[in-house]
């Protein structure tokens, strides 16, 4: 690696540590969250530096973007009093000494371990690359997510689904206040929404051979959806269409799995000939579902729901 590269890395590392700490330690939670989002963007940069552009995209869109937005909007719901925290939220008190000590010990041991680990273990890269031709896609990360370790991803989409089911169960009141539709916002929407749809779709498409994929695309779609929600609040109650929409991605993925098990070579064993198409199908549906779920995490359940509360 070249010197300036390591210099850049050193600066980036220092910034990450500083921002990470600010994001945790700032007494004002609003500041903390904003710093967390900036931290996320820097993190994305670090991912690029580590040759992980897929993660960089996901981090920027989901880690920084969506998580940050959720945090901010919860802060808004808590109100000034609820959002207030003590001036020195992490100050070291006798009560916390044990925790601090444990964390320090962990850091020391982890650091020692990292330094002690073998310097050049290729991990599973060789196998992953060798199997790529039969995977139906040319982006090894997508191949891993949707083929080699598709079982993980299926269950992971289940986790996402659970998040929205939980929110529905909690009957969380719509997260954002409903402002009068703002013409300016509407205008913005007319530009952004198509844009987010197009870029989302594009990311999904390139995911097969270049950085990108369902999750990144979904995040972009969701961004559009959230804007829309801002413009004129969406009513994502647990109605049948909504339930069908959020479960579709999981259902299609599972259906493919079962079909391959019953008709084909085994659970989630995609026939190389059709692997590419199947993966695209799964990702397309999953993207829409996940995007809707992410919007639903904001919109929560609208007033008119199964039970007439609110």
For the segment 176-195, give every residue that binds another protein (CB under 8 A).
none
DSSP code for 266: S
Q: Tell whether residue 117 is a contact of another protein (CB under 8 A).
A: yes
Q: Tell whether residue 292 is a contact of another protein (CB under 8 A).
A: no
Applying CB under 8 A, among 66, 220, 227, 256 the residue interacting with another protein is 66
Least CB distance from residue 194 to another protein, whole Å? 25
CA–CA separation, 94 vs 112, rounded Å?
A: 27
Q: Closer to another protein at the Cβ: 189 or 289?
A: 289
CA–CA separation, 118 vs 114, rounded Å?
A: 9
152-157 contacts, C-beta under 8 A, 24 or more apart: 153/253, 154/250, 154/253, 154/254, 154/257, 154/268, 157/249, 157/250, 157/253, 157/286, 157/289, 157/290
Q: Closer to another protein at the Cβ: 125 or 187?
A: 125
Is 49 within 8 Å of 9 (Cβ atoms)?
Answer: yes
Residue written as tokens 């931290």?
A: 39
Q: Closer to another protein at the Cβ: 95 or 180?
A: 95
- Select the span of 149-157, 181-189, 193-201, 225-233 touching another protein (CB under 8 A): 149-157
Biggest CA pair distance of the chain: 64
Least CB distance from residue 287 to another protein, whole Å? 12
DSSP code for 132: G
Applying CB under 8 A, among 41, 45, 48, 171 the residue interacting with another protein is 171
What the block records as the tokens of 209 is 């051979």
Q: Tell whether residue 127 is a contact of another protein (CB under 8 A).
A: yes
CA–CA separation, 167 vs 65, rounded Å?
A: 20
Residues 78-107 contacting another protein, CB under 8 A: 78, 82-83, 85-86, 89-90, 96, 99-100, 103-104, 106-107
Question: Binders of another protein: how many residues, by CB under 8 A?
Answer: 132
């Amino acid at each position: 690696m070249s010197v300036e590269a390591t210099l850049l890395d050193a600066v980036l590392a220092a910034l990450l540590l500083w921002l990470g700490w600010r994001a945790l330690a700032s007494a004002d939670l609003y500041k903390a969250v904003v710093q967390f989002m900036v931290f996320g963007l820097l993190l994305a940069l670090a991912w690029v530096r580590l040759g992980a552009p897929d993660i960089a995209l996901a981090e920027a869109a989901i880690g920084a973007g969506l998580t940050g937005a959720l945090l901010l909007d919860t802060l808004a719901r808590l109100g000034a009093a609820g959002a207030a925290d003590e001036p020195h939220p992490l100050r070291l008190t006798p009560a916390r000494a044990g925790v601090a000590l444990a964390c320090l010990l962990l850091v020391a041991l982890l650091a020692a371990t990292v330094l002690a680990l073998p310097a050049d273990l290729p991990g599973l890269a060789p196998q992953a690359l060798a199997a790529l031709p039969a995977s139906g896609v040319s982006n090894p990360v997508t191949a891993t997510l949707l083929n080699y370790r598709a079982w993980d991803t299926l269950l992971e989409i289940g986790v996402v689904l659970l998040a929205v089911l939980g929110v529905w169960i909690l009957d969380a009141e719509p997260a954002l206040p409903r402002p009068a539709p703002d013409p300016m916002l509407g205008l913005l929407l007319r530009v952004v929404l198509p844009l987010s749809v197009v870029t989302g779709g594009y990311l999904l498409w390139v995911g097969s051979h270049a950085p990108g994929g369902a999750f990144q695309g979904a995040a972009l779609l969701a961004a559009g959806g959230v804007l829309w929600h801002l413009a004129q609040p969406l009513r994502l109650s647990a109605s049948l269409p909504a339930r069908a929409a959020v479960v579709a991605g999981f259902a299609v993925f599972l259906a493919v799995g079962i079909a391959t098990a019953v008709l084909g070579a085994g659970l989630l064993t995609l026939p190389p000939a059709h692997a590419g198409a199947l993966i695209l199908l799964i990702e397309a549906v999953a993207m829409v579902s996940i995007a809707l779920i992410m919007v639903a995490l904001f919109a929560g359940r609208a007033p008119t729901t199964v039970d007439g509360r609110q």
